[in-house]
Structure 1
Amino acid sequence: MAPVPSKVRRKLEWLFLRAEGAFLDDAVLTAEGAHLEPLEARARLREGKENEEALRALEWLGRLEHLERALDGDAERRRTYLEQYGAVGVQRFRAGTETRIYCLSVETFPRHINNVYVVLEPGSALMLDCGSDLPTSRRDLALGFAVVRALFHEDVRYEALDWCVISHAHYDHFGGANAIKRETRAHLAVHELDARVLSGFDERLVVVSKDIDVYLRRAGIDDEKRAELLALYTAHKTMFAAVKVDRVLRDGDQIGPGYRVHHVPGHCPGLICLQVHDVLLTSDHVLARITPHQFPQAITPFAGLEHFFHSLAKIRKVEGINYALGGHEEPIWDLRARIDGIANFHRQRLGRVLEVCDVPRTVLGVADALFGPQEGYGFLLAIEEAGAHVEYLHNLGKLRIANLDEVATSRDPVIEYVVRK
């Protein structure tokens, strides 16, 4: 059976989330869940051959049957449904003996979903990441906390958190930090290599925009396209104001009731995994289905494939982990196997870059060969991903600059790479 397109999968996940709104009482639906319209969503799940085929391919037909029986008033099926699947974008996991981890599904950008984690145990309420602070992000955080209270019977509120730990300084993970400071009593913590992004955000935005512009020019992108990409990069970010960080984290630190910090640079300089007893919250370091996006060090120090490979190997050696929860997508039940899969994927991509650079190519040319035509933000992501692989191979001496004389004499050179023979 053919794989289900990601667009179709996202649509079905959204319909399940909305249909599960029928578990909530009228007060919560009116206050935090007015956008759900569960009756309509429940009907749409059964509509059309495409939905039926996708549900079968995803093995979700049984979930749909279970949901319909649970919604029809069977209390035991409702309880088991909540334990197995969660509801309305919230799923409960357990760590150690007393710790509950709630995964809140938050739409941080249009059709872009983050997992925000609320970690509870006696005397402690910690949240990992805080969304983007866009309207959908604020909406889903409010709904998530309401669901945790209403369906899972936890006495927890957003405004009463003890800690908000930022896993890394990418906007979908930290953009809500202003609201955390304004609306909660939580202390804000982030790794020391990302603290400057939050506390000196205006400076960071200016500097990184300049660095990206230089990189894109050298990658072979013309002035008009560069201006378009920079506008996309800075969109929404200008509304963030620099914020005081209460604690900077380092590798091996503990926070909350003994949760351990593992520093894993690569995808982002200050990226951390947070070990909650026997569960690892991996953020964007390890994800269940996709491979985390890679940036060249030429744009972001402490990024790049060299750091990423070392960080993967480091996490693979961590003992006592039963499963992992990523910053996007579903749980990772076999963490080491998934790490091996991600490392192999990138090594295969490196091999593909060597193949396409049998003739001189710019980073733009490599991106086009790897990913084909791209539009919008996807174009920028393709350039960065290709650039990270080209940079790694160039640093290893497997690629050389093909137009070195031109680079030596030009003020603003476009660089071409070719396999070193």
Structure 2
Amino acid sequence: MARVDTKTRKKAEWLLRRAEGALLSDAVLAAEGAHLAPADAESRLGELVRERPELGLADRLEALARARGEVTRSKEYAERYGVAGVRRFLVRGGITIYLLPVETFPHHINNVYLILEPGHALLFDVGSGSDSSRRDLALGFAVVRDVFGEDARFEAIDTAIVSHAHIDHFGGVSDLKVRTAARLCVHELDARVISGFEERVVIATKDVEVFLRRAGVAEDERRKMIALYSASRTFFKSVEVDRALRDGDLVGGGHRVIHVPGHCPGQICLLVGDVLLTSDHVLARITPHQFPQAITPFGGLEHYFHSLAKVRKLDLVNLALGGHEEPIADLRSRVDEIAAFHRERLLKVREICDAPRSIADVCSRLFGPQEGYGTLLAIEEAGAHVEYLHALGKLRIANLDEVARSDDPVILYERR
């Protein structure tokens, strides 16, 4: 079967979430779901499925059509697929996890998790705080009440755990503090980002700028990248963190915090019964973004490889739920795939460095032309792999004399 490109897959998922709005009550559809326009979405989705049968959604679309207006089939559909992207997962011990899909930035979907258990209502991540993020959180809670019959409200959340300090996961904490009495919990290495955000932005921007100069990025491109880096960091103000988490801490009714640095210094997973909430540490389809320790300590591939091995050793994990994309049925196999992907990329980087190369040179040969925020993501990803190989002694600095003489040189690497 033909492979489905990411753009088409995302479009299909976007339309499917909206088409499923047909299963909501009129009251919810008129209020929290007013933006869904399910009839139009279903029509467009049908056209896409006919054009791209490799999406494999024909049966799902047929099941959705049968579920409309028929209570039993509607409930069966909801249990199997969810409604408007909201899905329910039952965990031993009377715990229920709801996946709430949230458009944190245009065309960028995060999974926020609502954990309901005796005595507690917890959120794992809170969205970005953007208008679309707040809209989709409101819709998610409405679906949980309307379709699944839970008395769940955002205002009743007593604990919010931020998985890591990337703004699509934590930007909504300002709303949280205003609208709830929830305790805000963040790993201690990322707590400072949220509670001292203005300071962090200044220092991180300087570190990124130094990295880009040494990577060999031209001045005009550096200015563009720095502007992109700073753009999404202007609308958030520092918020006090109530609890700084450490590896092994317990939250809620006894759910274990697992510190997994790499993608972010304070990245955590949360073990809820036999379900692991992996956030951006392990995702179902893409390999989570990496950046070098030269920008932020506790990032980099060395930490990431150790963190992958750490979750691979966990016993009795029957399901993993990521911060984006779909659930992961086989966590260990997915961890192995991600590790193998990075090992293969390291081999490619070493091959590229058959002659002296800057990180910008490596990036160009690895990824080709990039646009928008992709330019910054690509150079960081290339830098993480070059940094790791250099730390292992697989690459050496080719222009060491020039580096010694210059205050802030472009560094060239070649393989040993």
After TM superposition, the score normalised by the length of structure 1 is 0.97
Partner of 1:4: 4
Q: SS at the partner of 2:302?
A: helix
Question: Among 373, 377, 386, which residue is 1:377 paired with?
Answer: 373
Question: Among 329, 332, 342, which residue is 2:325 paired with?
Answer: 329
Alignment check: 8 A CA contact 2:49 2:55 kept: no
* AA of the residue aligned to 2:11: K
> Runs of 5+ in structure 1 lacking a partner?
none
* AA of the residue aligned to 2:66: R
**Worse-superposed segment, 312-321 or 21-30:** 21-30
Q: Take 2:196 and 2:312, find their aligned partners in 1: how far apart are those partners? A: 33
Q: Take 1:45 and 1:212, find their aligned partners in 2: how far apart are those partners? A: 41
Partner of 1:360: 356
Shift of 1:26: 2.1
Answering whether residue 39 of structure 2 is matched by residue 42 of structure 1, we say no
* AA of the residue aligned to 1:41: A
Q: Take 2:243 and 2:310, find their aligned partners in 1: how far apart are those partners? A: 24
- Residues 379-405 of structure 1: per-residue CA shift (max 9 Å, x gap): 100000000000000000100111111
* AA of the residue aligned to 1:17: R
Matches within 5 A, 1:108-187: 108-187=104-183
Shift of 1:76: 2.0
Partner of 1:97: 93
Q: Take 1:403 and 1:2, find their aligned partners in 2: how far apart are those partners? A: 46
Answering whether residue 66 of structure 2 is matched by residue 69 of structure 1, we say yes
Q: Take 1:249 and 1:53, find their aligned partners in 2: how far apart are those partners? A: 49
- Residues 194-229 of structure 1: per-residue CA shift (max 9 Å, x gap): 010001000000000000000001111122111111
* AA of the residue aligned to 1:61: A
Q: Take 1:42 and 1:58, find their aligned partners in 2: how far apart are those partners? A: 15
Question: Among 31, 40, 57, which residue is 1:60 paired with?
Answer: 57
RMSD over aligned CA atoms reads: 0.9
Answering whether residue 371 of structure 2 is matched by residue 343 of structure 1, we say no
Partner of 1:392: 388
Q: SS at the partner of 1:238?
A: coil
Q: SS at the partner of 1:260?
A: strand
Alignment check: 8 A CA contact 2:283 2:324 kept: yes
Shift of 1:53: 4.2
**Worse-superposed segment, 89-98 or 341-350:** 89-98
Q: SS at the partner of 2:147?
A: helix
Matches within 5 A, 1:200-279: 200-279=196-275
- Residues 252-290 of structure 1: per-residue CA shift (max 9 Å, x gap): 000000000000000000000000011000000000011
Q: Take 1:224 and 1:51, find their aligned partners in 2: how far apart are those partners? A: 43
> Runs of 5+ in structure 2 lacking a partner?
none
- Residues 84-112 of structure 1: per-residue CA shift (max 9 Å, x gap): 11011201111113111000111111111
Partner of 1:33: 33
After TM superposition, the score normalised by the length of structure 2 is 0.99
Matches within 5 A, 1:285-300: 285-300=281-296
Q: Take 1:341 and 1:389, find their aligned partners in 2: how far apart are those partners? A: 17
Answering whether residue 81 of structure 2 is matched by residue 85 of structure 1, we say yes
Q: Take 2:85 and 2:102, find their aligned partners in 1: how far apart are those partners? A: 8
* AA of the residue aligned to 2:17: L
Q: Take 2:194 and 2:286, find their aligned partners in 1: how far apart are those partners? A: 27
* AA of the residue aligned to 1:177: V
Q: SS at the partner of 1:237?
A: coil
Shift of 1:122: 1.6
Q: Take 1:237 and 1:140, find their aligned partners in 2: how far apart are those partners? A: 21
- Residues 39-82 of structure 1: per-residue CA shift (max 9 Å, x gap): 111111122xx53243x3232111111001001x2222211110
Q: SS at the partner of 1:239?
A: coil
Q: Take 2:30 and 2:231, find their aligned partners in 1: how far apart are those partners? A: 32
Q: How many residues align?
A: 416
Partner of 2:49: 51
Q: Take 2:371 and 2:407, find their aligned partners in 1: how far apart are those partners? A: 29
Q: Take 1:230 and 1:134, find their aligned partners in 2: how far apart are those partners? A: 21
Answering whether residue 19 of structure 2 is matched by residue 19 of structure 1, we say yes
Q: Take 1:180 and 1:223, find their aligned partners in 2: how far apart are those partners? A: 40
Q: Take 1:264 and 1:195, find their aligned partners in 2: how far apart are those partners? A: 15
Alignment check: 8 A CA contact 2:49 2:58 kept: no
Alignment check: 8 A CA contact 2:187 2:245 kept: yes
Q: SS at the partner of 1:107?
A: strand
Shift of 1:151: 0.6
Q: SS at the partner of 2:410?
A: coil
Q: SS at the partner of 2:134?
A: helix
Answering whether residue 403 of structure 2 is matched by residue 407 of structure 1, we say yes
